[in-house]
Chains A and B, each alone.
Chain A
Amino acid sequence: MGFEVLFKGSNMLRLLSGMLVALRISLISVLISIVFGVALGSLMSLKKPAITVASKIYLEFIRIMPQMVLLFLVYFGTTKALGINMSAETASIIVFSLWGTAEMSDLVRGALGGIPAIQYESSYSLGMTTFQTYVYVIIPQIIRRMLPLSINLITRMIKTTSLVMMIGIVEVLKVGQQIIEANRKSSPNAAFGVYATVFLLYFVVCYVISMFSKHLEKKWKN
């Protein structure tokens, strides 16, 4: 069935290190997205017309374009238009951060908008300063609402990183391809075993993370 290829030499290790490349790209992008997403989301909830319009356009464009198109735009487009020669990994981190920021800011805006006005009023009437209100009352509630959703974003990010092989990054799918090519003679059925393994690798990683987010969601449901 082609699974035996994985036990030859260091093939399984190579596959796993390919998975790590995908995970590294998505982790860096998620961290950047959280920082910018929180900033943009807070700006959006100020409801200043100029900010609202600009962020709407940004959000709509990013969310409507397939991530693959964005990858091509940044990787091939900037090279030609601006003469910048960036590595494929930089390009993919930029794209995933742009996309993640859009998704994250929408979550932050939703969470901020979902806090009832009573929460602010009660804190103020208890004599809290604005700073205290946010630190002790509002932000803890927002984190509770957002954490499960942000963890979901991580799994979506990991799944989307499979696209980066299309701009030439050697991640788990590409490593799989290389292993299949190299063993074409000795095990012609390698494609089945290798791709099944890649499938399961992605499944294990994303399943564990999404179980964790479901667990948090249930625990904090109050």
Chain B
Amino acid sequence: MNAEVLISYFPLYGEAFWLTVRIGLIGIGLAFVIGIVTAFFSYFKVPFFSQLSKVYIELFRNTPLLVQLFFIYFGLPKIGIRISAEVCGVVGLGLLGGSYMAEGFRSGLEAVPKSQTESALALGMTRGQMFFNVIFPEAFSLSVPAIVANIIFLLKETSVFSAISLMDLMFTAKDLIGLYYNTTEALFLLVLFYMVMLLPVSILGNVIEKKVRFKMFGA
């Protein structure tokens, strides 16, 4: 391995790293919103919308992100919907993540005992208050392990963005290998940057999971 090559590549990877993190975070934020909304629809069995969210969840959970991105980025412009690669990445990640988050929230919501609902209603809360002040916070802490797993999964999935020509880490590595053939250095930096991105999330996730579990069974 050549130190000079590593140093000269470093800024390129840094830029790609920020792009990946930025799109990843916005996409995950969008996934959260979509997940909460669809979980809300199916929890209250809102007519039409709950069926719609069920179809959406099954469609996006059972297809790979790469195929979804190809459809959004290359397919949709043919029927007049044209969006930039970055927006496409965010939307794709948000739609994929939304379906996974919805499943996570759903299992959390199902695990909240029925007595909680009944007590909240008996205290005179409206159904909205009950959902947002009682049921959802409890369900949220129950779904934390699933959410953490989903966040790591989604950050990993960002590696397919290079297919729609976003200059992410994968794209940079592929580009540099093609240009200069310094395969070892390019791959080493690729692994290093993904480690820097994902290892803290994974460790933090373990810590949070233990904390939540303690709250559930301890005290």
Interface set of A (CB-CB < 8 Å, partner B)? 1-2, 60, 64-69, 72-73, 76-77, 79-81, 155, 159-160, 162-163, 165-166, 173, 176, 180, 188-196, 198-199, 202-203, 206-207, 210
Chain B's closest residue to A165 (CB) is: B66
Chain B's closest residue to A210 (CB) is: B62
Question: Is A69 a contact of B190 with CB atoms below 8 Å?
Answer: yes
Question: Is A207 a contact of B58 with CB atoms below 8 Å?
Answer: yes
Q: Does B170 belong to the interface (CB within 8 Å)?
A: yes
Task: Give the distance in Å from the alpha carbon of A66 to the alpha carbon of B64 in the complex.
Answer: 14
Q: Does B63 belong to the interface (CB within 8 Å)?
A: yes
What are the residues of chain A within 8 A of B208 when measuring CB–CB?
none
A202 to chain B, nearest CB (A): 5
Question: Is B67 a contact of A199 with CB atoms below 8 Å?
Answer: yes
Chain A's closest residue to B201 (CB) is: A64
Interface set of B (CB-CB < 8 Å, partner A)? 58-59, 61-64, 66-68, 70-71, 74-79, 152, 156-160, 162-163, 170, 173-174, 177, 183-184, 187, 190-191, 194-195, 198-199, 202
What are the residues of chain A within 8 A of B162 when measuring CB–CB?
166
Task: Give the distance in Å from the alpha carbon of A198 to the alpha carbon of B152 in the complex.
Answer: 26
* 12 A-B residue pairs with CB within 8 Å: A65-B191, A66-B156, A66-B170, A76-B187, A163-B66, A166-B160, A191-B75, A194-B75, A195-B71, A196-B75, A199-B71, A206-B63
With A65-B194, A68-B170, A72-B187 in contact, is A199–B63 under 8 Å at CB?
Answer: yes
With A66-B159, A202-B64 in contact, is A72–B173 under 8 Å at CB?
Answer: yes
Question: Is B187 a contact of A195 with CB atoms below 8 Å?
Answer: no
B218 to chain A, nearest CB (A): 21
Chain B's closest residue to A172 (CB) is: B67
What are the residues of chain B within 8 A of A72 when measuring CB–CB?
170, 173-174, 187, 190
What are the residues of chain A within 8 A of B184 when measuring CB–CB?
77, 80-81
B158 to chain A, nearest CB (A): 8
Task: Give the distance in Å from the alpha carbon of A190 to the alpha carbon of B71 in the complex.
Answer: 11
What are the residues of chain A within 8 A of B78 when measuring CB–CB?
1-2, 188-192
Question: Is A162 a contact of B67 with CB atoms below 8 Å?
Answer: yes
B189 to chain A, nearest CB (A): 11
What are the residues of chain A within 8 A of B71 when measuring CB–CB?
195-196, 198-199
Question: Is A68 a contact of B63 with CB atoms below 8 Å?
Answer: no
What are the residues of chain B within 8 A of A193 when measuring CB–CB?
75
Question: Is B177 a contact of A195 with CB atoms below 8 Å?
Answer: no
Question: Is B194 a contact of A66 with CB atoms below 8 Å?
Answer: yes
Question: Is B62 a contact of A155 with CB atoms below 8 Å?
Answer: yes
Question: Is B187 a contact of A173 with CB atoms below 8 Å?
Answer: no
What are the residues of chain A within 8 A of B158 when measuring CB–CB?
66
11 further interface pairs, Cβ-Cβ under 8 Å (given A166-B162, A195-B75)? A66-B194, A68-B160, A76-B177, A80-B183, A160-B64, A165-B66, A191-B78, A195-B70, A196-B75, A198-B67, A207-B62
